[in-house]
C-alpha cells in the first residue's frame, strides 16, 4: 500500500480556474481603457460639433466604468465579453464610416480581431472578426470614394494594404488561437490524467467526487464510493522488478474500466490505490458491485513478459448519503473500511 496515503484521509480543496481569472482581469482592464478612450473621443467629437456619436460614446464610456464591479462578480463572463466587444465593434465601424472622422480611425480595425480571439476563443473570435473587418474595409472604400471620387492606383494600393493587413491579422490570430487552445486542452488532459494508467488522477477524482455529491444532493439519489488497494503489491516489484509492477498497474486499470458501467467513474489515486464511483447504486447493490470487482481482479490473469501473476485486492465501500454527506467524510469512511479489510486479512470487501 502506498505510504503517502496510509492514514491520510483529507481531500484538499484546491481548485483554480486560471483561464477565467485571467479573462476577468483582461476584460476589466479593457473596460477601464475603452471607457477612458471612448469618453475622450466623446468630448473631442462633441467639440467638433457632432451630436449623435458623442452621445453614444458618452453612454458607452459611463456604462463601462459603472460595470467594473459587476464584471468582478458575474458568472456570465462570456456574455459580458461578447456584448462589450460587439458594442466596441459597432462604435469603430461607425467611426470608420464617418466621412469627417479622423484619418487614423482605421487602426482600430486591427486591434479588434486580437481582442475577439484572445477573449472569446476560436469560433466566436472568427464570427466576430471576419464580418467586422470586411464591413470596415467596405467602409474605408466608401470613405476614400467620398473623399477622392475616383479610385486612383495609389488609393487602390492603400486599400489593398489595409485589407491585406486586416485579413493577415485574422489569419495569424486564428492559427495562434487554434494552437493555444490545443495546447491548453492537452495540458488540462495531462493535469487530470495519471500518466501510467491513463486513468483520471487523484485531483480529477476529487473534483468528480464533489460534483457527484452536488448532483446526487440535487436529485436526491444515492451513489457508492469504493477505495481499492492491491494486496502485497510490493512483492511484485521486489520479485519481478518495477517494470513488472508498472505493467500490473496498467492491466489493473484496464480490468477496472472493463468492469464498470459507462456512467461510473474510476481513477488511480496513487501507488496501487484506485477509486471507483458507482452512480445511482447503494445498499446491497453497492456490495454486489464491489464484490464483482474483487472477483474480476482475482480471476484476472496478470502477466509480465511470459510470467503469469495472480493478484488480490481489498476494497472499502461507502455510500452517499448514509456514510457521509461531504467528500471528506465519505472518502474517510471508505478508506477506513479498506484499512480494516487489510488488517482483517486482505482480499475482501468491507461495506460496514
Ligand atoms: N511499479 C510501481 N510500483 C509502485 C508505484 N507506486 C508505488 N509503487 C510501489 O508499491 C508498493 C506499495 O507497497 P506497500 O505500501 O507496502 O503495499 P503492499 O505491498 O501492497 O501491501 P498491502 O497494501 O499492505 O497489502 C511499494 O513498493 C511502492 O514502491 C508505481 O507507480 N509503479
What would the mean pLDDT of 286-293 be, rounded to a whole number? 93
The residue whose C-alpha atom lies closest to atom 31 belonging to ligand 1 is: 271
Tens digits of per-residue pLDDT, 91-111?
Answer: 888 877 775 666 777 788 888
CA of 45 to the centre of ligand 1 (A): 74
CATH number of 196-350: 3.30.70.270
**Predicted complex: ipTM over 0.95:** yes
Report helix, strand or coil for 276.
strand
Tens digits of per-residue pLDDT, 22-44?
Answer: 778 888 888 898 889 889 989 99
Residue extents of the structural domains in the chain: 18-191, 196-350
Cβ atoms of 286 and 319 within 8 Å: the answer is yes
- Ligand 1 site: residues with CB under 6 angstroms? 1-3, 196, 229-234, 237, 242, 245-246, 249, 271-272, 342, 346
Tens digits of per-residue pLDDT, 239-272?
Answer: 999 999 999 999 999 999 999 988 899 999 999 9
Cα 123 from chain centre = 16
- What is the rounded average pLDDT for all residues in the chain? 87
What would the mean pLDDT of 63-92 be, rounded to a whole number? 85
β-bridge mates for residue 268, sequence order: 274
Which ligand 1 atom is nearest residue 243's CA? 1
- Percentage of the chain surpassing pLDDT 70? 93
What would the mean pLDDT of 285-310 be, rounded to a whole number? 92
Q: Report the 10 Å Cβ neighbour count for 58.
A: 17
Angle at 67 between CA 66 and CA 71, to 5 degrees: 150
What would the mean pLDDT of 147-157 be, rounded to a whole number? 77
Which ligand 1 atom is nearest residue 2's CA? 15
Instruction: Name the residue among 132, 134, 122 with its Cα closest to residue 164.
Output: 134
SS3 annotation, 90-116: HHHHHHHHCCCCCCCCCHHHHHHHHHH
Q: Is 0.80 topped by the overall pTM?
A: no
CA of 327 to the centre of ligand 1 (A): 25
The residue whose C-alpha atom lies closest to atom 5 belonging to ligand 1 is: 271
Name the pairing type of β-strands 349-350 and 313-320: parallel
Cβ contacts of residue 200 below 8 Å, gap of 6+?
Answer: 192, 193, 194, 208, 265, 266, 267, 268
Amino acid at each position: 500500500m502506498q505510504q503517502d496515503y496510509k492514514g491520510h484521509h483529507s481531500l484538499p480543496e484546491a481548485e483554480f480556474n486560471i483561464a477565467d481569472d485571467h479573462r476577468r482581469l483582461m476584460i476589466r482592464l479593457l473596460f477601464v481603457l475603452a471607457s477612458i478612450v471612448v469618453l475622450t473621443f466623446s468630448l473631442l467629437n462633441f467639440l467638433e460639433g457632432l451630436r449623435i456619436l458623442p452621445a453614444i460614446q458618452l453612454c458607452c464610456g459611463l456604462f463601462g466604468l459603472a460595470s467594473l464591479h459587476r464584471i468582478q462578480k458575474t458568472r456570465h463572463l462570456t456574455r459580458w465579453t461578447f456584448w462589450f466587444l460587439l458594442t466596441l465593434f459597432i462604435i469603430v465601424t461607425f467611426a470608420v464610416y464617418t466621412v469627417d472622422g479622423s484619418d487614423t480611425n482605421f487602426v482600430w480595425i486591427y486591434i479588434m480581431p486580437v481582442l475577439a480571439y484572445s477573449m472569446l476563443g476560436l469560433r466566436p473570435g472568427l464570427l466576430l472578426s471576419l464580418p467586422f473587418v470586411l464591413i470596415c474595409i467596405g467602409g474605408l472604400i466608401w470613405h476614400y470614394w467620398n473623399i477622392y471620387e475616383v479610385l486612383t492606383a495609389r488609393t487602390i494600393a492603400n486599400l489593398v494594404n489595409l485589407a491585406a493587413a486586416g485579413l493577415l491579422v485574422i489569419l495569424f490570430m486564428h492559427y495562434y488561437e487554434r494552437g493555444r487552445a490545443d495546447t491548453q486542452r492537452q495540458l488540462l488532459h495531462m493535469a487530470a490524467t495519471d500518466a501510467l494508467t491513463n486513468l483520471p488522477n487523484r485531483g480529477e477524482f476529487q473534483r468528480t467526487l464533489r460534483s457527484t455529491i452536488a448532483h446526487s444532493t440535487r436529485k436526491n439519489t444515492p451513489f457508492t464510493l469504493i477505495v481499492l488497494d492491491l494486496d502485497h503489491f510490493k512483492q511484485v516489484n521486489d520479485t519481478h522488478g518495477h517494470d513488472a509492477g508498472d505493467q500490473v498497474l496498467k492491466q489493473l486499470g484496464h480490468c477496472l474500466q472493463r468492469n464498470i458501467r459507462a456512467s461510473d467513474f474510476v481513477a488511480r489515486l496513487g501507488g496501487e490505490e484506485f477509486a471507483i464511483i458507482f452512480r445511482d447504486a447503494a445498499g446491497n447493490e453497492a456490495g454486489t458491485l464491489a464484490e464483482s470487482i474483487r472477483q474480476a481482479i482475482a480471476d484476472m490473469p496478470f502477466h509480465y513478459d511470459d510470467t503469469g501473476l495472480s493478484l488480490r485486492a481489498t476494497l472499502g465501500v461507502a455510500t452517499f448519503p448514509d456514510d457521509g454527506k461531504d467528500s471528506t467524510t465519505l472518502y474517510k469512511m471508505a478508506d477506513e473500511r479498506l484499512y480494516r479489510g487489510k488488517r482483517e486479512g486482505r482480499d475482501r470487501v468491507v461495506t460496514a
